[in-house]
Amino acid sequence: MINIKEIWNMTLKCIEDKIPQKIYENYFDDVKLLSLDKNIATVVVPNELSKTLLEGQYKQNLQDSLLEVTETLYDLKFILSSELEENTSSTSSENLSKASFFKHSKLNPNYTFDNFVVGESNESAYKASHLIADHLATLNPLFIYSASGLGKTHLMHAIGNYVLSVTPLKKVLYITAEDFVDEYVRFSTKRDKNNVSMKDFFITVDVFLIDDIQFLAEKTQTCEMFFHIFNLLVSNNKQIVITSDRDPKKLEGLEERLVSRFSSGLTVSIKVPEIDTLMNILKLKIKASGHDLNLFPDDVLLYLAQNNSKNVRELEGALNRIVFYNMINKNPGPITMDLVHQAFDNEVVKDHKESLSPEKIISTTASYYNLAPSQLTSKVRINQITFARQIAIYLCRELLDIPFSQIGKIFSRDHSTIMSSVQKVENLLKDDNQTIHAINQLKDQLKTR
């Protein structure tokens, strides 16, 4: 996003060509742009003489130059730097609180509409996302739901990236529901000290993207704050985009009034991709990784697509495995089916949901960590047992796709604890090699038992 300093530097370059050089050097060098808010540009000037000159003779030049840079017509407000210094102490803590919220808001620049592979399974979600990005606040909220790894987070980031590419001054906030909970706790703790609430911050947000809303389940106070923020943003024509692992009507542990608001805009789903879509995704991943697509014959791509059809992450993992085996075999030519079978130990890599059960997952996980199955369903909170239990909970959710409430009964845990366990493992799988290795090993074992 273009920041205030960059905007002002570009504005000064424009105005320098429109006024006498001496005027520019004497009266514009020490002038700063403080803020752009609700079509008002606040400009800080060093003294009364500069203020008089800019408010009069050169105001139009400044306004035209700012319009040229931002494509927005701003009214100009001039304040003295001495006035600003008097107010600094009272506003600095608020600015700090607002700024810190954005530590979570990191849009992934690699997730765009251009590199999202569209198929029958996700076409409606793609079109809805593009429509929302082009026409903010026309359908509010946009609610996208799907199983894990099918592209809803990609679309959410694509919306944010697109909005900033078209209107760089928009304030876009991306955050996971888990981070939202953390921020609610932080704001609640700091409010008396800084006199700032989350609602004060959110009124400045233009596009609010919140991922995995199901994590708010049974967090009553956080949901209450989210409810008020939701209403605040919608009433001010700010866009909200929400993702979840299920239809809003099937969300458990959330108040009906919140669920009804989720359903009041546009709800779209993403299904399991078709084989053709999966093959196109593979081709895109291969090209993006810098590999030669000619090294991957259609029969290899078809095999990967047919046997890793549950989600895109699983598909990408299978592709990486093929690439790895091709590297260690130092094979210079096209990848063969023999190498594919070698990579997967001559086993068909399919989702054997029918032969799996929670009991088998618990038993296999317990054995992997040298524990008894009963320890994973016990109330014991020793770190080793807790971690193994979280792994087993994650596998039950990932491989069996059963509701959190059902998993909770199996492990004698409440709904929110099960959700938190799944979330923790998913976060570890992003960058923790030990957890990635353990999950892959356990999945391999479960396929052979």
- Shared domain check, 313 and 233: no
Task: Note whether residue 441 is domain-resident.
Answer: yes
Same domain for 305 and 438:
no
Asked whether residue 118 is domain-assigned, the answer is no
**Number of domains, the chain:** 4
Q: Which residues of the chain have pLDDT under 70?
A: 1-3, 83-105, 189-197, 345-355, 448-449
Residues 148 and 211 in one domain: yes
Cα separation, 387 vs 369, whole angstroms: 10
The two three-digit tokens of residue 57, written as one number: 């003779």
The SS3 of residue 338 is helix
Beta strands at 142-145 and 239-244: parallel, antiparallel or unpaired:
parallel
Beta strand pairing call for 172-176 and 207-211 = parallel
Determine, yes or no, domain membership for 349.
no
CATH number at residue 392: 1.10.1750.10
From start to end of 32-140, where are the E strands?
32-37, 40-45, 75-80
Whether residue 279 sits in one domain with residue 325: yes
Phi and psi for 269 in degrees, rounded to 5?
A: -120, 160
Q: What is the DSSP string of 124-177?
A: HHHHHHHHHHHSTTSSS-EEEE-STTSSHHHHHHHHHHHHHHH-TTS-EEEEEH
127 and 91 inside one domain: no
CA 152-157-160 angle, 5° bins: 130
* Residues 22 and 133 reside in one and the same domain: no
Q: What's the rounded Cα separation, in Å, for the pair 195 and 324?
A: 54
What whole-number distance in Å separates Cα of residue 202 and Cα of residue 193? 19
Please check whether residues 365 and 434 belong to one and the same domain.
yes
Q: 292 lies in which domain range?
A: 275-343
Q: What is the CATH number of the domain that holds 235?
A: 3.40.50.300
Residues 255 and 155 in one domain: yes
Q: Are residues 141 and 231 both part of a single domain?
A: yes
Query: What is the structure's pLDDT at 95?
Result: 46
CB 418 within 8 A of CB 383: no
Which two three-digit tokens encode residue 320? 């990486």
Supply the pLDDT for residue 89: 38
CB-based contacts of 140: which residues, under 8 Å, 6+ apart? 234, 239, 240, 264, 265
> Strands 40-45, 75-80: parallel, antiparallel or unpaired by DSSP?
parallel
Question: How much is the pLDDT for 103?
Answer: 52
- Do 252 and 287 fall into the same domain? no
Considering the domain architecture, whether residues 225 and 303 belong to the same structural domain is answered as no
- Report if residue 189 sits inside a domain: yes
Q: Is residue 352 part of a domain?
A: no
Last residue of a domain, one of 218, 241, 269: 269
Residue 108 within a domain: no
Within a domain: 226: yes
Residue 60 sits in a domain whose CATH number is 3.30.300.180
